[in-house]
């Protein structure tokens, strides 16, 4: 029996705006098992990054706050622990890589110092030992001349190298869970291939769970075991990676997969999803995807479906269509 590393239940995050508030994440559920890579996919504004920030409790200096639900990491509810306790977990047992390797490193500190900070803090190493460990980590992520590099500044490195440094930093305390928010989006394809290859190796060697947040379905297919698709702050579909690409159930997932131009596919026109992502402050009633959906029924416009398991399958979907037995009376528009 594999244990659940992270259980997110009904997570809700709100942001203050003016007198009211808008809900960026509206009840998200998923689990990550030990050593599993879970992909979190969706378009911009769907709440995938806010979900990751909520899990890491990094919303403190923003107008945002977690307003409901729980995040259980190895049984501990992270929404309940104190800031001090959270600091023991963050960077130690859970670590994060951000999208922008240019802005997530401190430009006035040497690479080595930045790498040594979490090592000294969490592993309790002295300076000398921490420096050795930092060099070891840099070698592990495939950085040549690591001994020299610890004394250089971030601006002396290329984008791909900086992202390797970020990965080395995140991995330095052997986290059980790594959250990677668009780790390769800012990189060129040949560099992206290097980084994806590296992450695959590290994951296998360290047997670490990973939450990979991306909008790139190619990266998902490459790296993930299971996928959660988000739309408008909600999970709309969850499935294993093979199942998701072979038989997408939710109309949004279908549309998303079909909109991506694929190499050597040779189609004249691309399928696209009509319309735009709804504004968070003006969410439609009923199913949030209904205004853009090709299969919309009367029922979709008034009642929001729940995320339910599809019978006989190891997967879930938030759509009236996949919950056939419930759809009586739903006239197709």
Residues of the shown chain interacting with other proteins in the complex, contacts defined by CB under 8 A:
43-44, 158, 160-161, 188-194, 196-197, 215-222, 241-242, 245-246, 255-257, 259-264, 267, 269-274, 276-277
β-pair type (226-231, 37-41): parallel
- A 10 A CB-CB count for 76 gives 14
Beta carbon of residue 287, minimum distance to other proteins (angstroms, whole number): 16
Beta carbon of residue 202, minimum distance to other proteins (angstroms, whole number): 15
The candidate with the shortest Cα–Cα distance to 172, out of 228, 131, 227, is 131
Beta carbon of residue 178, minimum distance to other proteins (angstroms, whole number): 19
Considering beta carbons, is residue 164 or 316 the nearer one to other proteins?
164
Beta carbon of residue 216, minimum distance to other proteins (angstroms, whole number): 7
Q: Which residues are CB-contacts of 266 (< 8 A; sequence separation ≥ 6)?
A: none
User: Residue 250: exposed, middle, or buried by beta-carbon count in 10 A (0-12, 13-18, 19+)?
Assistant: buried
Considering beta carbons, is residue 95 or 232 the nearer one to other proteins?
232
Considering beta carbons, is residue 7 or 43 the nearer one to other proteins?
43
Q: Could you give the CA distance from residue 215 to residue 123 in angstroms, rounded to a whole number?
A: 34
How far is residue 45 from each of residues 42, 69, 108, 215, 230, measured CA to CA in Å? 8, 20, 32, 11, 10
CB contact at 8 A, 302 and 329: no
Beta carbon of residue 326, minimum distance to other proteins (angstroms, whole number): 27
Considering beta carbons, is residue 18 or 329 the nearer one to other proteins?
18
Beta carbon of residue 226, minimum distance to other proteins (angstroms, whole number): 11
Beta carbon of residue 237, minimum distance to other proteins (angstroms, whole number): 15
The candidate with the shortest Cα–Cα distance to 321, out of 289, 297, 302, is 297
Partners of 33 in the β-ladder: 4
Q: Could you give the CA distance from residue 89 to residue 84 in angstroms, rounded to a whole number?
A: 9
Q: Could you give the CA distance from residue 116 to residue 60 in angstroms, rounded to a whole number?
A: 25
Beta carbon of residue 102, minimum distance to other proteins (angstroms, whole number): 12
Considering beta carbons, is residue 3 or 272 the nearer one to other proteins?
272
Considering beta carbons, is residue 85 or 294 the nearer one to other proteins?
294
Strands (E), 47-108: 64-73, 76-77, 94-97
Q: Could you give the CA distance from residue 191 to residue 95 in angstroms, rounded to a whole number?
A: 22
Beta carbon of residue 122, minimum distance to other proteins (angstroms, whole number): 31
Considering beta carbons, is residue 57 or 254 the nearer one to other proteins?
254
Strands (E), the chain: 4-17, 20-33, 37-41, 64-73, 76-77, 94-97, 177-181, 209-214, 226-231, 234-240, 308-309, 316-317
């Amino acid at each position: 029996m594999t244990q659940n590393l992270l259980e997110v239940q009904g997570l809700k995050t709100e942001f203050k705006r003016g007198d009211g508030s808008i809900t960026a994440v509206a009840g998200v559920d998923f689990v990550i098992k030990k050593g599993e890579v879970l992909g979190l996919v969706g378009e911009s504004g769907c709440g995938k990054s806010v979900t990751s920030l909520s899990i890491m409790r990094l919303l403190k200096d923003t107008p945002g706050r977690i307003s409901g639900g729980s995040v259980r990491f190895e049984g501990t509810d992270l929404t309940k622990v104190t800031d001090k306790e959270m600091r023991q977990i963050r960077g130690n047992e859970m670590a994060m890589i951000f999208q922008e390797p240019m802005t997530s490193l401190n430009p006035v500190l040497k690479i080595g110092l930045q790498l040594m900070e979490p090592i000294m803090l969490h592993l309790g190493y002295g300076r000398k030992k921490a420096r050795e460990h930092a060099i070891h980590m840099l070698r592990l992520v495939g950085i040549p001349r690591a001994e020299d590099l610890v004394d250089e500044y971030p601006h002396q490195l290329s984008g791909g190298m900086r992202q390797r440094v970020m990965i080395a930093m995140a991995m330095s305390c052997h986290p059980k869970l790594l959250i990677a928010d668009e780790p390769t989006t800012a990189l060129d394809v040949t560099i992206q291939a290097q980084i994806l290859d590296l992450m695959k190796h590290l994951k296998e060697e360290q047997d670490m769970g990973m939450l990979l947040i991306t909008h790139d379905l190619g990266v998902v297919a490459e790296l993930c075991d299971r996928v959660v698709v988000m739309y408008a702050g909600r999970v709309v579909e969850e499935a294993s990676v093979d199942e998701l690409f072979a038989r997408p159930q939710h109309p949004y997932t279908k549309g998303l997969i079909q909109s991506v131009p694929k190499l050597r596919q040779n189609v004249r026109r691309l399928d696209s999803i009509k319309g735009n992502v709804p504004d968070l402050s003006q969410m439609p009633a009923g199913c949030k995807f209904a205004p853009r959906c090709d299969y919309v029924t009367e029922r979709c416009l008034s009642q929001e479906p729940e995320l339910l398991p599809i019978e006989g399958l190891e997967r879930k979907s938030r759509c009236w269509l996949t919950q056939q037995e419930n759809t009586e009376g739903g006239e197709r528009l």
